[in-house]
A = this chain, B = another copy of it.
Amino acid sequence: MNFCSDCGQPVRVGIPDDDNRPRHICDHCNTIHYQNPKIVAGTIPVYGDKILLCKRAIEPRHGYWTLPAGFMENHETTADAAWRETWEEAQAKVNIQQLYMLIDTTVISQVYMIFLAELPEPIFSSGPESLEVELFSEDEIPWSELAFPTIEKTLRCYFEDRKKGQFPLHQCDISKEDRDRFYAAEKQAQHLS
What is the interface of chain A, defined by CB distance below 8 A to chain B? 1-11, 18, 21, 33-39, 71-79, 98-99, 102, 104, 106-107, 109, 111, 128, 169, 171, 173
Nearest-CB distance from A176 to chain B (Å)? 10
| Tally of this chain's copies | 2
Whether the Cβ atoms of A75 and B18 lie closer than 8 Å is no
Nearest-CB distance from A164 to chain B (Å)? 18
Kindly identify which residue among B3, B79, B106 contacts A8, using a CB–CB cutoff of 8 Å: B3
CA distance in complex: A59, B1 (Å)? 27
Q: In the complex, what residues of B have CB within 8 A of residue A11's CB?
A: 5
Nearest-CB distance from A172 to chain B (Å)? 9
